[in-house]
């Protein structure tokens, strides 16, 4: 199994230092063009990813069904990428790169051109490929934001499962206090993953976050995961509240001796929303300074090209991508795997 995070070494190693803090848990996947031996579990995941991106792949791959490379093919490919929500900037970049590579390699067939496009898309997406790291001081505090319906709380549950599976201790913070169902849902995830949770009925979200950070430090947890209320970036008063939560978390980190907190600010976005997902990344990044993304609901989407738009216009790392509702259906992002699933 490929690890989805690693731990940074501590600033000063000592005999009393928890060994977990200094030890990388495993090697994260890379975007190398060499085909490595893929573990069986990863192969199963890749099959699900390819199936999930099938609608997007069908729209793009149909362009390469002919027998020759001509201007009509490039025009059809441009339209297909735009229809897949790759965006104008990323589409222009990919097409220009593909034209150059086709000329340099003297490509003769659409199949050869398709292979070159996979390479070009991999290169474009590579800046998004980055592992989530824990430490050097623990707990690592992670705020998770997103609009209603994006799968934020479910993604937190899946992430908790993966963290716990890798041996990390997790404390959940139910800071979405406006929606009772969210608190109940997070409590269910806490019980399923056998982790602790800090929750207050009708409490202030910032206060819950503050208490969770302090509790995470006192209880010597590896990770504090803070669930925030879902909101649209156009809801300015709610976005201001989200900024307040981050400031309070920073104060809690200072009070607990953790330094700058939160170390990670993640945004969960629905892969089916296409260019709207890019708009969300821009808005939340401007407000909070995002460190990573979780892309959900890629199963059955015809808009999988949006990751190319994100890579070209706002390259916030994609830590995880998800297809389906099962616990194991949240995996690390790998640029080449994604390009192959999107185009093969």
pLDDT value at 13 more than 70: no
Q: Percentage of residues in the chain with pLDDT exceeding 90?
A: 53
**146-199 pLDDT, tens per residue?**
988 888 888 999 999 999 988 999 999 998 876 667 778 888 888 888 899 998
Q: How far is CA 260 from CA 35, 45, 220, in A?
A: 39, 35, 17
Q: How far is CA 235 from CA 147, 205, 238, 242, 283, in A?
A: 10, 17, 6, 11, 11
Q: How far is CA 133 from CA 15, 61, 62, 143, 168, in A?
A: 22, 36, 39, 14, 12
- Helix/strand/coil (H/E/C) assignment for every residue in 16-42: CCCHHHHCCCCCCCCCCCCCCCCCHHH
Tokens for 171, please give them. 């404390």
Q: How far is CA 130 from the centre of its chain?
A: 9
Q: What share of the chain is helix, strand, coil (3-state, %, to 5)?
A: 50, 15, 35
Tokens for 245, please give them. 């939560």
CA atoms of 142 and 250, how far apart (whole Å): 12
> Higher-confidence residue: 161 or 203?
161
pLDDT value at 291 more than 50: yes
CA atoms of 156 and 228, how far apart (whole Å): 11
pLDDT value at 18 more than 50: no
**1-12 pLDDT, tens per residue?**
334 455 554 444
**263-283 pLDDT, tens per residue?**
999 999 998 888 889 999 999
Give pLDDT, residue 8: 56
What average pLDDT does the segment 296-301 reach?
82
**21-63 pLDDT, tens per residue?**
333 333 344 433 334 455 666 778 888 888 888 888 999 999 9
Give pLDDT, residue 15: 35
pLDDT value at 241 more than 90: no
Are the CB atoms for 322 and 116 separated by under 8 Å? no
Four-point Cα dihedral 55, 320, 329, 122, nearest 10:
40
Q: pLDDT band at residue 236, thresholds of 50, 70 and 90?
A: confident
What is the average pLDDT value for the chain, to the nearest integer? 84
Q: Angle CA(291)–CA(126)–CA(158) in degrees, nearest 5?
A: 50
**89-137 pLDDT, tens per residue?**
999 999 999 999 999 999 999 999 999 999 999 999 999 999 998 888 8
Give pLDDT, residue 182: 73
CA atoms of 176 and 67, how far apart (whole Å): 55
- Provide the 10 A C-beta neighbour count for residue 193: 20
């Amino acid at each position: 199994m490929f690890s989805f995070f690693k731990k940074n070494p501590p600033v000063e190693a000592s005999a009393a230092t928890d060994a977990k803090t200094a030890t990388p848990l495993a090697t994260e996947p890379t975007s190398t063009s060499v085909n490595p031996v893929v573990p069986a579990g990863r192969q199963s995941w890749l099959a699900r990813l390819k199936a999930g991106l099938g609608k997007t792949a069908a729209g793009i791959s149909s362009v390469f069904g002919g027998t020759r490379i001509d201007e009509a093919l490039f025009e059809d490919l441009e339209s297909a990428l735009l229809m897949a929500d790759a965006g104008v900037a990323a589409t222009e970049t990919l097409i220009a790169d593909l034209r150059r590579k086709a000329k340099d390699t003297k490509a003769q067939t659409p199949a050869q051109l398709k292979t070159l496009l996979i390479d070009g898309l991999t290169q474009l997406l590579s800046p998004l490929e980055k592992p989530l790291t824990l430490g050097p001081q623990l707990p690592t505090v992670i705020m998770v934001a997103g609009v209603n319906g994006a799968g934020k709380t479910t993604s937190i549950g899946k992430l908790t499962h993966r963290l716990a599976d890798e041996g990390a201790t997790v404390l959940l913070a139910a800071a979405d206090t406006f929606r009772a169902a969210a608190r109940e849902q997070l409590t269910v995830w806490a019980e399923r993953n056998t982790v602790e949770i800090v929750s207050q009925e009708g409490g202030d979200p910032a206060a819950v976050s503050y208490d969770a950070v302090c509790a995470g430090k006192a209880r010597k947890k590896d990770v504090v995961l803070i669930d925030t209320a879902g909101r649209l970036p156009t809801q300015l008063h709610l976005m201001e509240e989200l900024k307040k939560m981050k400031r309070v978390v920073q104060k809690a980190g200072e009070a607990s001796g953790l330094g700058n907190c939160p170390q990670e600010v993640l945004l969960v976005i629905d892969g089916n929303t296409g260019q709207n997902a890019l708009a969300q990344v821009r808005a939340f990044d401007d407000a909070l300074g995002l460190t990573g993304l979780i892309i959900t609901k890629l199963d059955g989407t015809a808009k999988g090209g949006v990751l190319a738009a994100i890579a070209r216009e706002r390259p916030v790392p994609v830590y995880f991508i998800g297809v389906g509702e099962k616990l194991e259906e949240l995996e690390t992002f790998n640029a080449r795997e994604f390009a192959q699933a999107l185009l093969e």
